[in-house]
């Protein structure tokens, strides 16, 4: 196996549980992939999760104690930019299945805004329910399944319409809807309307905090894998895969060669193709990130905040032009004395030569936008992580692989690599997509397929009906 991120850990566990002898190679010094850069005591990437059912099912399959998941209430607090003091606006939606009704969310909106919110929420639910059985909780779709989806449910997903056109809701609410596309690495202005289904995952089923954070989850999965005799070779960077007769025989790494009967790559698909020497038509990369890990002087509780810039569209013009945005949307996650500040960035590792200077700009923007109840946010120390740092674990720092632009672009590649019979490709850059729960689902099943194990949706479709709440 190559890669000890969440997908790689899930894959190693499935294979080891089925009796395979597994060795995992990873370039980093510890498990967690995108969560494992920077400071050792907290995640450098994922902070909150969706789809709690996947975490519960995975823990159950592995005989681990149930994960401690707590619903984030509100899901997130959105702060609109205030040109003058007192002019700002805040919106803190509750997830429908967690709150039990739409009332607490609608009470914060005008009547017209509320009507638009309800209709867009219903549309995202319909798109999600239509797409999930084919694109999320099933093996990569065959051409026949794709055609069946396209001719029936696909027609209801506004094919041919861009997301930006589809969610138009005025200056305050449009960016709210657009930003869900970034969860798959899209530029929201180039994303197809069907990515609107992502909104339902968060606004319908909720956002969840995992006790101890995501890096601790990687630690628990790693420990379980050790108990199943999985061997981990950290600090081992793969350079090349040796292929003969349509099979991978071994890997050249900077710590020597490794041989195996079968292979799983849980690193980016583009990296795997590079190691195999398979040239594919280059596709545009999805977005990268620039983040700050912050140790705070005081415990500020648990919360998720988003601060809009004065002009959301300009942020994306900067990113498209290959610049770090001058006035970006700020994503702030607070967890006790730790905070994580994230902005979208172009997938260009070569671009920042002074990450601390850009980090200081972000801290200044943050302090200017913090509402009174969060001030002052006193910082003990901090560490910047730019696209160059994320390029250590991904192709060019693109957090979710290729950009899901245009209708076909939103389809994720499957788990096989052309003409290689003993290699499975899993992880956030392939089916069913990015984010921790889907990456784990990919690892669990992509690796399982290599051994002929049955597909296991990890309880993905087991969600409450509208009106019911999660336990
Ligand atoms: C800033 C940020 C915020 C995010 N926020 C969230 C969030 O809140 N919620 C959420 O669900 N998701 C979030 N994500 C996305 C989520 O982190 C990823 O989708 C998920 O971690 C991907 O896991 P993976 O195992 O597929 O890939 P990775 O974590 O990238 O693992 C790939 C592994 O392969 C290894 N590798 C690469 N090249 C080599 C090589 N040559 N040799 C050996 N090993 C190699 C890497 O070291 C790495 O360990 C966020 C990501 C980032 C970066």
**CATH number where 437 lies:** 3.50.50.60
Q: Is 302 in the same domain as 233?
A: no
Q: Is 309 in the same domain as 360?
A: yes
Q: Is 350 in the same domain as 443?
A: no
Q: Using a 6 Å cutoff on CB, does residue 267 contact ligand 1?
A: yes
Which of the listed residues 178, 204, 230 is the one where a domain comes to its end? 204
Q: What is the dihedral of CA 332, 333, 339, 344, to 10 degrees?
A: -50
Tens of pLDDT, residue by residue over 105-149, are 999 999 999 999 999 999 999 999 999 999 999 999 999 999 999
Q: Is 326 in the same domain as 390?
A: yes
- Give the number of other CB atoms < 10 A from CB of residue 358: 21
Which of the listed residues 176, 204, 232 is the one where a domain comes to its end? 204
Predicted pLDDT of residue 452: 96
pLDDT beneath 70: ranges in the chain: 83-86, 471
Q: Is 310 in the same domain as 381?
A: yes
Contact in structure between 100 and 179 (CB atoms under 8 Å): no
Q: Compute CA distances 59 → 3, 26, 27, 56, whole Å.
A: 20, 23, 26, 5
Q: Which 3 state secondary structure label does DSSP give 224?
A: helix
Q: Is 376 a member of any domain?
A: yes
Predicted pLDDT of residue 86: 65
Total structural domains in the chain?
3
Q: Is 274 in the same domain as 404?
A: yes
Predicted pLDDT of residue 283: 83
Q: Is 440 a member of any domain?
A: yes
Burial class (CB in 10 A: 0-12, 13-18, 19+), 102: middle
Predicted pLDDT of residue 84: 65
**Distance between CA 109 and CA 115 in Å, rounded?**
9
| 440 φ/ψ angles, rounded to the nearest 5 degrees | -65, -40
Residue closest via CA to ligand 1's atom 17 equals 46
Q: Is 100 a member of any domain?
A: no
Q: Is 272 in the same domain as 293?
A: no
Q: Is 325 in the same domain as 344?
A: yes
Q: Is 149 in the same domain as 246?
A: no
Q: Is 329 in the same domain as 365?
A: yes
Predicted pLDDT of residue 373: 87
How does strand 338-345 pair with strand 330-335?
antiparallel
Most informative mutation of 4, 45, 276, 331 for ligand 1 (most atoms within 8 A of CB): 45
Q: Is 385 in the same domain as 431?
A: no
Strand partners, 425: 265
- Give the number of other CB atoms < 10 A from CB of residue 68: 11
Q: Is 462 a member of any domain?
A: no
Predicted structure pTM score: 0.97
Most informative mutation of 34, 390, 391, 447 for ligand 1 (most atoms within 8 A of CB): 34
Q: Is 95 a member of any domain?
A: no
Domain residue limits at 145: 111-204
Which of the listed residues 186, 204, 222 is the one where a domain comes to its end? 204
Q: Is 174 a member of any domain?
A: yes
Tens of pLDDT, residue by residue over 59-92, are 999 999 999 999 999 999 999 977 666 678 999 9
């Amino acid at each position: 196996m190559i890669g000890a991120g969440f997908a790689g850990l899930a894959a190693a566990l499935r294979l080891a549980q089925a009796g395979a002898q597994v060795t995992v190679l990873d370039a980093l010094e510890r498990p967690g992939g995108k969560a494992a850069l920077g400071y050792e005591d907290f995640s450098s990437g994922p902070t909150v999760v969706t789809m709690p059912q996947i975490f519960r099912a995975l823990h159950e399959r592995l005989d681990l104690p149930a994960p401690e998941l707590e619903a984030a209430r509100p899901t997130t607090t959105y702060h609109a930019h205030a040109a003058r003091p007192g002019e700002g606006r805040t919106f803190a939606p509750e997830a429908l299945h967690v709150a039990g009704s739409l009332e607490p969310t609608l009470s914060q909106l005008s009547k017209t805004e509320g009507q638009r919110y309800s209709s867009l929420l219903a549309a995202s639910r319909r798109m999600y329910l239509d797409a999930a059985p084919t694109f999320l909780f099933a093996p990569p779709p065959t051409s026949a399944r794709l055609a069946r989806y396209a001719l029936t449910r696909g027609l209801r997903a506004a094919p041919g319409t861009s997301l930006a056109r589809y969610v138009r809701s005025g200056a305050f609410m449009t960016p709210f809807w657009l930003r869900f596309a970034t969860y798959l690495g899209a530029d929201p202005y180039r994303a197809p309307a069907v990515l609107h289904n992502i909104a339902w995952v968060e606004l319908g089923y909720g956002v969840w905090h995992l006790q101890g954070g995501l890096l601790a989850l990687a630690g628990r999965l790693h420990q379980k894998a050790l108990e199943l005799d999985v061997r981990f070779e950290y600090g081992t960077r793969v350079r090349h895969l040796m292929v003969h007769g349509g099979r991978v025989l071994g890997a050249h790494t900077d710590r020597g060669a490794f041989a195996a009967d079968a292979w799983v790559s849980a690193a980016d698909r583009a990296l795997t193709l590079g190691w195999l020497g398979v040239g594919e038509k280059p596709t545009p990369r999805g977005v990268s990130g620039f983040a700050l890990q912050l140790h705070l002087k005081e415990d500020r509780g648990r919360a998720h905040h988003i601060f809009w810039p004065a002009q959301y569209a300009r942020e994306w013009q900067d990113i498209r032009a290959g610049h770090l945005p001058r006035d970006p949307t700020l994503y702030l996650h607070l967890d006790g004395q730790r905070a994580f500040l994230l902005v979208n960035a172009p997938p260009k590792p070569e671009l920042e030569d002074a990450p601390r200077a850009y980090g200081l700009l972000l801290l200044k923007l943050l302090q200017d936008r913090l509402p009174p109840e969060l001030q002052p946010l006193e910082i003990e120390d901090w560490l910047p992580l730019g696209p160059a740092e994320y390029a250590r674990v991904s192709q060019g720092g693109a957090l979710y692989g290729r950009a899901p632009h245009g209708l076909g672009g939103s389809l994720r590649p499957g788990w096989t690599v052309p003409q290689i019979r003993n290699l499975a490709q899993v992880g956030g850059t392939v089916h069913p997509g990015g984010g921790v729960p889907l990456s784990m689902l990919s690892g669990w099943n992509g690796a399982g397929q290599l051994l002929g194990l049955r597909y296991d949706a990890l309880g993905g479709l087991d969600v409450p009906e509208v009106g019911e709440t999660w336990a």
